[in-house]
C-alpha cells in the first residue's frame, strides 16, 4: 500500500488540513473547559464530612447518609433496655403532707379504722414561693467608755468577700453562664422574672469573673498536665469580643478537656501550653501553626512528632 504526501497546491488537501487544525484547537479548548468544570465540581462537593474543612465553611449542609436497611426503630425505650426508676424514701422529703379521711366516702360513716404503714406516697419537686432570700447583715456600732473610741462589729469574711451574690447563688450563676451557655439577657430574665432578684449586666459580669478566678487553681494544673498526655486532639475557632478577634483553642485529652482563649492562632500558643517537651500524639487539621510547632526540635524520646508529620504528609 502506497501513501502520498499532501499536495500544498491541492485545494481539497488545504481545506482538510485547516479543518483538522480547527478541530484540534476546539478539542484543546473543550479539554480546558472540562478540566475547569471538574475542578469546580470537586470544590463544590468538598465539605466538612469528606475533608478537613470546618463545618462553618459549608455552603450547604452535606447530604445525610442513606438510612440503614431493616425495621425502623420505634420511639421510646428499646427492647432489652433497663428501665430507670427513681427511688425515694420518706426521709428524703423536706415536707410531708398527710391526707386523711374523716368519714367513709361511700356511706359517710365516721367509724373508720386506720391501716398504719400502708400509706401510698406520691413525691413531687416544687419551687418554694420565694426561692432566693435577701439577707441584711448589720454591723452595729459601739463606743468604749474607757478609751472613748467607736468600734463596728466586723462582718464575716464570707459576707464581706461575697458581695451582693452569696456563694451558692454565685455558683449557680457561673454554672448557667459557663455550663449552660446562657446569655446575659436570658440570665437576667431568669433571675428577675423567675427568682425575683434583678441584677445588672455589670454585676453579672463581676460574679462570673469571680467564678473564673475561683476555678483558676483547678484550671492551671490541667494546663500543666497537657504535655504529659499520650494523645491530644486540638482545634481552634475564632470569635469576637467587643470587636476584637480572639481564638478559642480546644485541647482534648482522654480524661479532660482544656479551653484556652488567645488573641492569636499562631504556633506560639502551642509552644506556651504544650512546651517543647510534649510527648503526646497530636490530632489536628494540619493547619500551618501545627506544622510550624512540629518542625521545631522535639524532645529526644518523642516519637509522636514522626507520626504527626506522617499524617500531615498524607
- What pLDDT, in 10s, does the model give residues 23-53? 889 999 999 999 888 888 877 777 777 776 7
Q: Who has greater pLDDT, 251 or 64? A: 251
Contact between residue 284 and residue 234 where contact means Cβ atoms under 8 Å apart: yes
Tens digit of each residue's pLDDT (9 = 90 or more) over 5-29:
666 677 778 888 888 888 889 999 9
Cell of 187: 440570665
274 within 8 A of 284, measured Cβ to Cβ? no
N- to C-terminal Cα separation, the chain: 55
Give bridge partners of residue 244 from the DSSP assignment: 241
The average confidence (pLDDT) of the chain is 84
Residue 299 is predicted with a pLDDT of 44
Question: Which range in 15-19, 155-159, 309-313 is most confidently predicted, on average pLDDT?
Answer: 155-159
Residue 133 φ then ψ, to 5°: -105, 140
- The mean per-residue pLDDT over the stretch 149-171 comes to 89
Query: Residues 123-137: what's their mean pLDDT?
Result: 89
List strands edge to edge, sheet with 257-262. Answer: 257-262, 244-252, 231-241, 281-283
How much is the pTM? Answer: 0.59
The CA dihedral of 66, 69, 73, 79, to the nearest 10 degrees, is: -140
Average pLDDT over residues 256-275: 91
Amino acid at each position: 500500500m502506497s501513501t502520498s504526501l499532501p499536495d500544498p497546491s491541492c485545494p481539497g488537501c488545504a481545506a482538510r488540513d485547516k479543518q483538522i487544525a480547527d478541530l484540534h484547537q476546539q478539542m484543546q479548548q473543550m479539554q480546558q473547559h472540562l478540566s475547569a468544570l471538574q475542578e469546580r465540581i470537586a470544590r463544590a462537593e468538598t465539605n466538612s464530612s469528606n475533608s478537613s474543612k470546618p463545618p462553618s465553611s459549608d455552603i450547604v449542609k452535606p447530604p445525610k447518609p442513606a438510612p440503614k436497611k431493616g425495621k425502623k426503630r420505634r420511639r421510646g425505650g428499646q427492647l432489652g433496655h433497663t428501665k430507670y426508676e427513681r427511688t425515694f424514701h420518706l426521709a428524703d422529703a423536706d415536707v410531708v403532707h398527710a391526707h386523711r379521711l374523716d368519714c367513709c366516702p361511700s356511706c359517710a360513716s365516721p367509724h373508720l379504722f386506720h391501716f398504719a404503714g400502708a400509706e401510698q406516697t406520691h413525691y413531687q419537686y416544687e419551687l418554694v414561693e420565694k426561692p432566693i432570700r435577701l439577707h441584711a447583715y448589720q454591723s452595729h456600732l459601739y463606743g468604749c467608755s474607757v478609751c472613748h473610741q467607736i468600734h463596728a462589729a466586723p462582718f464575716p469574711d464570707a459576707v464581706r468577700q461575697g458581695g451582693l451574690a452569696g456563694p451558692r447563688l454565685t455558683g449557680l450563676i457561673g454554672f448557667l453562664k459557663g455550663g449552660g451557655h446562657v446569655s446575659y439577657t436570658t440570665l437576667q430574665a431568669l433571675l428577675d422574672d423567675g427568682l425575683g432578684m434583678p441584677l445588672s449586666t455589670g454585676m453579672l459580669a463581676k460574679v462570673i469573673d469571680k467564678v473564673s478566678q475561683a476555678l483558676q487553681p483547678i484550671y492551671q494544673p490541667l494546663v500543666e498536665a497537657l504535655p504529659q498526655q499520650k494523645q491530644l486532639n486540638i482545634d481552634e475557632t475564632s470569635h469576637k469580643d467587643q470587636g476584637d478577634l480572639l481564638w478559642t483553642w480546644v485541647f482534648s485529652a482522654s480524661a479532660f478537656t482544656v479551653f484556652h482563649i488567645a488573641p492569636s492562632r499562631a504556633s506560639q500558643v502551642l509552644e506556651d501550653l504544650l512546651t517543647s517537651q510534649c510527648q503526646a500524639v497530636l490530632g489536628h487539621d494540619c493547619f500551618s501553626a501545627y506544622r510550624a510547632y512540629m518542625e521545631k526540635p522535639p524532645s529526644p524520646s518523642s516519637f509522636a512528632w514522626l507520626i504527626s508529620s506522617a499524617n500531615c504528609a498524607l
